[in-house]
Structure 1
């Protein structure tokens, strides 16, 4: 995701130095959130037998990971603010929402909100870092937020039963697997449509092709496959979809600066 956001920053006209700051801020923010999540979920992951987690296997000590998460967050703050005050505050709001998710919001019906904020504020981070701090295009924030909701749903799908057993009752767990799949498809397809049709200028053949690819990816990400209910492929497909949508925007020469809608 840091590569996608950095590419959008470059296409939007952000100076090379600030593009590097954007890359560093997004990367450290993501690392802090991921490491925080692993530390908070240690007991649940252990109970679920998550052998893909270093904490569960004993390859990494909990204190080490906690220190790493705090260090990444401490680095994220100055890197974000160095892009610009408003830009930095927007990015840190998204990172803070993700930490709030890890620390308890995931257990509530508002579990989708941190993902919507986190993804939706990434284009705001880029736009507000431009000279004059122009407001981000509405279509970019909306498209990002819809992608975030879809990412939340596809990320949770493999673990719904284990989450319920552990007392985690976010929105997907309350909806159940079938309804969560439908909602994920709607969110991802809506995101694809917004990011194709709403930016300035005609989509052109490349834009419509990208819509077809992202739409198909969205459907594949949520279609039930027997024996693969616990696969991580739906979430990975969502990330691929986000990269495809961003690539289509770059191919059309659409950035996030003034005149982008």
Structure 2
């Protein structure tokens, strides 16, 4: 069970699922519907995490990834395949139960994540599934209201930027191992130095969008979070340029991402607009 849990990529899965719940509360979904939306996202995240480690099992063994349960032998690729396909089936049922339009939006997001695991992670378009998956998340939640409201454009843009920045940052610790197994996504092609600058820059751009997007006066707390995000992004870029083998840009980028998530949580009540 511990191995299966570790293979879900629990931290990002928990963040995405929690964001879905926050959006559901922000658009005032009834409790039962909010639970349904959150459960659909959780099932989708399980399928994505397990499919990732299932499809990467041979690569992970080749480079000796001791953090992967398929390498340590705790779980087998077959177990992960069964879990991934089962979770995907549950995700389809739960997603469509929220409504046809909403369900298809969420399934498109999950499909984009599977496309990354199966193919796009090794191409220059490795960023695209992250942009699509994160951008579609608030659109799914708003569509699940069924009351004619539409997702605010700034929310989609900010979530997409958060996804792309998180992708580039998340790849940084494993660039060399990925290259050794033939993975050549956008960060690998740009190189460590450029990716160390790009990741926090994209994330900080997302913070600026969240600051400027919601209607009305700029919230002082959001302004403070954006200022912090920009400062951390600058620091990450400087370190990334000067110390190409430092892990600091990854940590600083994750800190910028955390600030963006907090901003999204605080602005969750503005993610929907009257159509």
Distance 1:29 1:230 in 2: 31
Q: Tell me the TM-score normalised to structure 1 length.
A: 0.90
1:10 counterpart SS class: helix
1:12-60 CA deviation, whole Å, 9 max, x = no partner?
1111111101111111111111110001111111122211111110011
1:93, 1:86 → 2: CA distance?
Answer: 11
What does residue range 13-162 of structure 1 map to in structure 2 within 5 Å? 13-162=28-177
Using the TM superposition, give the Cα deviation of residue 62 of structure 1 relative to its aligned residue in structure 2, in angstroms. Answer: 1.5
Q: Is 1:246 matched with 2:251?
A: no
Distance 1:92 1:86 in 2: 10
Distance 2:93 2:51 in 1: 19
2: CA distance, partners of 1:221 / 1:35? 31
| Equivalenced residues, count | 257
Distance in 2, matches of 1:134 and 1:44, equals: 44
TM-score by length of 2: 0.86
2:255 aligns to what? 237
User: Structure 1 regions of 5+ residues with no counterpart?
Assistant: none
Q: Cα distance 1:221–1:40, how it changes in 2: closer, same or farther (>3 A)?
A: farther
Runs of 4+ that moved beyond 3 A: 213-239
Counterpart contact for 2:40–2:95, Cα < 8 Å: yes
Contact 1:32 1:72 survives alignment (8 Å): yes
User: Residues 200 and 252 of structure 2 are in contact (CA less than 8 Å); yes or no, is this contact kept in structure 1?
Assistant: no
Mapped partners of 2:256, 2:130: distance in 1:
13
- Where structure 2 has 5 or more consecutive residues not aligned to the other structure, the ranges are 1-15
Relative distance call for 1:85 and 1:27 in structure 2 (3 A) is: same
Superposed CA RMSD in Å reads 2.2
* Cross-structure match for 1:170: 185
The superposition leaves residues 116-173 of structure 1 with CA deviations (integer Å, 9 ceiling, x where unpaired) of 0010000101111113343211101111111111011011111111111211111111
In 2, Cα distance between equivalents of 1:221 and 1:66: 37
- Structure 1 residues 90 and 219: alpha-carbon distance in aligned structure 2, compared to 1, 3 A threshold: farther
Tell me the residue number matched to 1:4.
19
Deviation at 1:6, TM superposition (A): 0.6
Question: Cα 1:125–1:102, aligned 2, differ >3 Å: closer, same or farther?
Answer: same
* Partner of residue 198, structure 1: 213
Contact 2:102–2:143, Cα closer than 8 Å, also in 1:
yes
1:208 to 223, 239, 245: 223
In the TM superposition, what is the alpha-carbon distance from 1:240 to its structure 2 partner?
A: 2.1
Change (3 A) 1:226 1:169: closer
**Secondary structure, aligned partner of 1:258:** strand
Task: Tell me the equivalent position of 2:270.
Answer: 255
